[in-house]
Structure 1
Amino acid sequence: MLKIEEIQSIESCLDSLSELLVQVVDDCASIGFLPPMKLSDARQYWQSVITPDTILFIAALNNEIVGTIQLHLCTKQNGHHRAEIAKLMTSPNARRKGVARTLLKIAEERARAEGKSLLILDTREGDPSNLLYQSLGYIQAGKIPHFALSGEGELDTTVIYYKIVD
């Protein structure tokens, strides 16, 4: 059974989250890191995630962390109504089981509870995540070519999406 939990402190799941990040990056996910990823770099990343404007959810199957999502609350005066969906990741072994969809819905619910009416996100063009976002009502706002370097040394296009969540 899939269990979703908001994490306020990283210490208890630092090792599991670090291993998940290494798995996902080494599987060529475009989430800001390049393969091969060192476990020490993953640990350093996770230790910096929890901030007052970042809400982190984890997904667990059989007590094993298999996914995460972050909701970044905008703190700018003119942006209190919006948030960014970031670092949605699912373990390669847990894909196609509804983990990412469930995490995204939970993040949307939390955004509404925080008074946010606009969500934004970006993802690499051609990744399966594009289909997920579109299926949940995210609208493509545009594309930026040559946005992110891939593990193969190519410059990939990113697609920017938004969703109004009244």
Structure 2
Amino acid sequence: MSELPPLTIVRFSVDDVYAHEAELGRLIHDCVHAGASIGYVLPYELADGIAFWTGKIANSLDGGRLVLLVAFLDGAIVGSVQLDYDTNPNQPHRAEVRKLMVHPDYRREGIARKLMLAIEMEARKLSRTLLTLDTRTGDSAEPLYASLGYKVSGVIPGYCIDAHSGELDSTTIMYKQLV
């Protein structure tokens, strides 16, 4: 790992999303183009990325059932992660970690780990003791999650389309009980 300047992780509001929509759009755009399996396929334009943040994410933040953490390095957005805690009444202890993204130029620098540890702290503040997530089977994020204590619940074959190849990828469902 190279030596990076200090990383700052900020909890974003709806206003923050709109203030940084172009940078956030670039983050998801560049991640999708680098092959990240985060729900989108090519072609994926910058406008699509901006629309994701200003539409879907801003609406969820406005409803107060989503936490969005954004990582900054030297004033630039380099990553993000979400915690969806919009659960049914019988699941007030659970939340889903979604869309962990690190810009391709900053991967393998420990940013994803720091984002995950920060989102776990947010979950604890919300009294969420069970976290779930899914990741493309065999993806580089899978060992990261395992190193953080996430356990494999199972694998679903043919779950999603690969952004580049169009082939069907499996997904690994993981969980972690927070202490």
Equivalence map 1:63-142=2 (5 Å)? 63-142=75-154
Contact 2:159 2:170 (C-alpha < 8 Å) held by counterparts = yes
Q: How much does 1:153 deviate?
A: 1.2
SS in 2 for 1:77: coil
Q: Which amino acid aligns with 1:137?
A: G
Instruction: Using the TM superposition, give the Cα deviation of residue 35 of structure 1 relative to its aligned residue in structure 2, in angstroms.
Output: 2.3
| Structure-2 residue corresponding to 1:59 | 71
Please point out which of 49, 70, 78 is paired with 2:57: 49
Instruction: Decide whether the 8 Å contact of 1:24 with 1:89 is kept in 2.
Output: yes
1:99 is displaced (CA, Å) by: 0.6
Distance between the aligned counterparts of 2:47 and 2:141, measured in 1? Answer: 27
Q: Deviations over 1:33-86 (max 9, x none)?
A: 012311111111101203211110000111110000000003311111100000
Query: 1:33 is matched with which residue?
Result: 40
Distance in 2 (CA, whole Å) between partners of 1:128 and 1:94 is 14
C-alpha distance in 2 between matches for 1:16 and 1:35:
19
**Unmatched segments (≥5 aa) in structure 1:** none
Deviations 1:97-124 (A, max 9, x none): 1110000000001101100010000000
Structure 2 unaligned spans of 5+: 1-5
Percentage identity across aligned positions? 39
TM-score in terms of structure 2 length: 0.91
User: Normalization by structure 1: what TM-score?
Assistant: 0.98
Partner of 1:3: 8
Say which SS state the counterpart of residue 81 (structure 2) adopts: strand
Distance 1:133 1:90 in 2: 14
Counterparts of 1:93 and 1:153 in 2: how far apart (Å)? 24
Q: How many residues align?
A: 166
Across the aligned residues of Structure 1 and Structure 2, the Cα RMSD in angstroms comes to: 0.8
Give the CA deviation at 1:32.
Answer: 0.2
2:20 maps to 13
| TM superposition shift of 1:7 | 0.3
Deviation of the 1:12 alpha carbon: 1.0
1:164 matches 2:169: no
The 4+ residue runs of structure 1 with deviation greater than 3 A are none
